[in-house]
Amino acid sequence: MTAPTYYVTTTIPYVNASPHLGFALELVQADVLARHRRQRGDAVRFPSGTDDNSLKNVLAAAAEGVSTQELVDRNAGAFEALRGPLWLSFDDFIRTSRNPRHRPGVERLWRTCAASGDLYRKHYEGLYCVGCEQFYTPGELVDGRCPEHGTEPQRVAEENWFFRLSRYQDRLLGLIESGRLRIEPAARRNEVLAFVAAGLREK
Ligand SMILES: [Zn+2]
């Protein structure tokens, strides 16, 4: 009998600054899970990495007067170097601007989505927070400001690609309600269920 494969990973942080304590905590928590499963005899796969492609990184590099690649290389290096002092046991570290395996993976995912009709182009206008790298609806703002950063979002108009998330609404609800897709703790599960049930619409 082969050991079951246990997959654990982290978010991949933007590297516009040095690592902060919050991400160190996330790495350590993932590492605890990975070590625990290895000790139980599972075949563990534990990748981590950095998101080198973001507007935040570009803006941070411009503010410092260095090239984006220079800033990204320096900061991503600091994230990867956490391995030593934190005694991390991740078995792979993927940087989205440097790792040659990343691009073909992205292209394959894109083509698969395109082939099944999940992608479409649309003109979009909205309120964008660079800090969050996301659009907000006016109702999500607090006194017209980003609930996370307290800054005023920019009005951005763009022609972009979108994913037809609404197609998957019923399937997602079914998977979460039946417990086949488990979200823990229960409070988060209910939050996600309420969000999906309210209607997934493309912005
Ligand atoms: Zn924000």
Give ion ligand 1 contacts, CB < 5 A: 129, 131-132, 146, 148-149
Give the span between the Cα atoms of 170 and 199, in whole angstroms: 10
pLDDT tens readout for residues 64-119: 999 999 999 999 999 999 999 999 999 999 999 888 999 999 999 999 999 999 99
Q: What's the Rg (C-alpha) of the chain?
A: 20
**Contacts (Cβ under 8 Å, ≥6 apart) of 132:** 146, 148, 149
- Two structure tokens written together for 110: 């894109």
pLDDT tens readout for residues 26-71: 999 999 999 999 999 999 999 999 999 888 899 999 999 999 999 9
Domains and their CATH numbers in the chain: 5-102 (3.40.50.620), 116-163 (2.170.220.10), 166-197 (no CATH)
Kindly give the distance from the C-alpha atom of residue 146 to the centroid of ligand 1, in angstroms, as a whole number.
Answer: 5
Say what percent of the chain tops pLDDT 90. Answer: 81
Kindly give the distance from the C-alpha atom of residue 161 to the centroid of ligand 1, in angstroms, as a whole number.
Answer: 22
Q: Helix or strand or coil: residue 173?
A: helix
Give the span between the Cα atoms of 48 and 29, in whole angstroms: 12
